[in-house]
C-alpha cells in the first residue's frame, strides 16, 4: 500500500480574480471547480488542474479578500514544482512569463518564478514515467502544457525529525532531506531546506499539501500509521470531492491525505467543470445569498475557448 504521489496543493490568495487570470489565463490550467470554503462559505475555494481534475494535477486556493501577503518560513512549503516536457517548453514558458512582466530564473533543466503574491513555482523537465496530466488551453501548445505536479520544497529547522513519520507513510529517501511518495502510477517528492527567515501565513503562501490515497480503507490504514509514528491525525472528513485526514508532520508542514475515488465530476459534467458555482449540499439553501456575496469571476481560459 503506497501513496500515489501528490493529490493537490492548497494555497492562499487575497484576490480570486487575479488568481484565475494567473493560473487559468497565463498558466493555461483548467478551473476545475469554483466552490466555497467549507468552513467559511462566503469566500471562494478555487481548484485548477488538468481536463479531468486528476489527482496529481490540482492546485487549489482559499480566497481571503484583503489578506496581507505572507512569507514562507519554518514548517511551510516555499516552492511548488511542476513537470514540463523539454527544454523547448522551458523556452516557451520563459518567453510567456517574461512577456507578462514576470521575472524568471532560467537554468538548463528548470525555470523558477513567483506569482503576483509571491508564491514560488518551479518548472522541471519531466524525467518520470508517470502519465502526463495535461490541460488543453487554446493558447498553450499541447506539447508545452504543464504535465502535473512533481513535488514541493519546504523549510525545516531539523528536517531529519520528519524521517520516522515519512517512512511510516511509505516515503523513501531519495536524496539529502528529500523524500519520495511513489505508487504504481504516480510519484512526487517533498524536499526540506533550511529556513532563511521566520514565516507568516498569508496571501502567496501554501496552506497544506495533500497526498493521494485510494479510498477510506487506505485513509484508515495511513491514519493508523501516522498516529503510530507520533502524529495526531483528524478523523476522516468529507470534502465532497474526496475524503481527507489532516495532521502536521514533525517539521511543521500540514499534511492532508486525500482519496481519489470520488472526483470532481460528482456534481457537474467533465465537459463543464468549473463553469458554475458548485456548493456543498449543506450550503445549497444559501445559494442566492452566497452568489450575491461572492464576486463574479471571469474565466479567461473559457473566454479564449469560446
The domain ranges of the chain are: 6-305
Q: What is the pLDDT of residues 94-126, one digit of tens each?
A: 999 999 999 999 999 999 999 999 999 999 999
Q: What are phi and psi of 228, to 5 degrees?
A: -65, -25
Give pLDDT, residue 175: 85
Q: What is the pLDDT of residues 162-201, one digit of tens each?
A: 999 999 999 999 988 999 999 999 999 999 999 988 899 9
Tell me which residue of 145, 85, 144 sits closest to 109, measured CA to CA: 85
The secondary structure element, H or E, covering residue 154 is strand 149-155
pTM: 0.95
DSSP letter for each residue of 9-29: EEEEES-HHHHHIIIIIIS--
In angstroms, the first-to-last Cα distance of the chain is: 43
The secondary structure element, H or E, covering residue 82 is strand 77-84
Which class does domain 6-305 fall in? alpha beta
Mean pLDDT across the chain:
95
Strand 178-182, strand 172-175: pairing: antiparallel
Are 5 and 181 spatial neighbours (Cβ–Cβ below 8 Å)? yes
Q: What is the pLDDT of residues 200-221, one digit of tens each?
A: 999 999 999 999 999 999 999 9
Distance from C-alpha of 235 to C-alpha of 247, rounded to nearest angstrom = 10
Distance from C-alpha of 111 to C-alpha of 125, rounded to nearest angstrom = 9
| Residue keyed to cell 501516522 | 226
Amino acid at each position: 500500500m503506497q501513496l500515489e504521489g501528490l493529490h493537490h496543493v492548497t494555497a492562499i490568495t487575497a484576490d480570486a480574480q487575479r488568481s484565475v487570470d494567473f493560473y487559468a489565463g497565463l498558466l493555461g490550467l483548467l478551473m476545475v471547480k469554483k466552490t466555497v470554503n467549507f468552513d467559511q462559505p462566503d469566500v471562494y475555494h478555487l481548484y485548477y488542474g488538468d481536463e479531468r481534475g486528476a489527482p496529481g494535477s490540482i492546485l487549489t486556493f482559499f480566497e481571503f479578500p484583503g489578506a496581507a501577503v505572507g512569507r514562507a518560513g519554518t514548517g511551510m512549503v516555499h516552492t511548488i514544482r511542476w513537470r514540463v516536457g523539454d527544454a523547448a517548453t522551458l523556452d516557451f514558458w520563459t518567453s510567456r512569463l517574461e512577456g507578462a512582466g514576470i521575472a524568471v530564473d532560467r537554468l538548463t533543466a528548470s525555470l523558477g518564478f513567483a506569482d503576483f503574491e509571491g508564491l514560488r513555482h518551479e518548472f522541471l523537465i519531466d524525467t518520470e514515467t508517470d502519465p502526463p496530466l495535461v490541460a488543453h488551453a487554446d493558447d498553450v501548445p499541447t506539447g508545452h502544457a504543464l504535465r502535473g505536479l512533481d513535488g514541493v520544497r519546504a523549510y525545516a529547522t531539523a528536517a531529519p525529525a520528519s524521517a520516522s513519520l515519512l517512512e511510516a507513510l511509505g516515503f523513501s529517501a531519495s536524496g539529502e532531506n528529500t523524500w519520495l511518495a511513489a505508487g504504481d502510477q504516480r510519484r512526487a517528492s517533498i524536499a526540506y531546506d533550511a529556513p532563511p527567515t521566520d514565516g507568516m501565513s498569508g496571501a502567496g503562501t501554501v496552506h497544506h499539501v495533500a497526498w493521494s490515497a485510494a479510498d477510506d480503507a487506505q485513509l484508515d490504514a495511513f491514519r493508523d500509521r501516522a498516529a503510530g509514528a507520533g502524529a495526531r491525525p483528524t478523523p476522516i472528513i468529507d470534502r465532497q470531492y474526496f475524503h481527507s485526514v489532516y495532521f502536521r508532520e514533525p517539521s511543521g508542514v500540514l499534511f492532508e491525505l486525500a482519496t481519489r475515488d470520488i472526483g470532481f465530476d460528482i456534481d457537474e459534467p467533465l465537459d463543464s467543470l468549473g463553469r458554475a458555482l458548485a456548493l456543498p449540499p449543506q450550503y445549497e439553501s444559501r445559494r442566492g445569498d452566497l452568489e450575491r456575496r461572492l464576486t463574479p469571476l471571469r474565466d479567461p481560459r473559457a473566454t479564449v475557448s469560446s
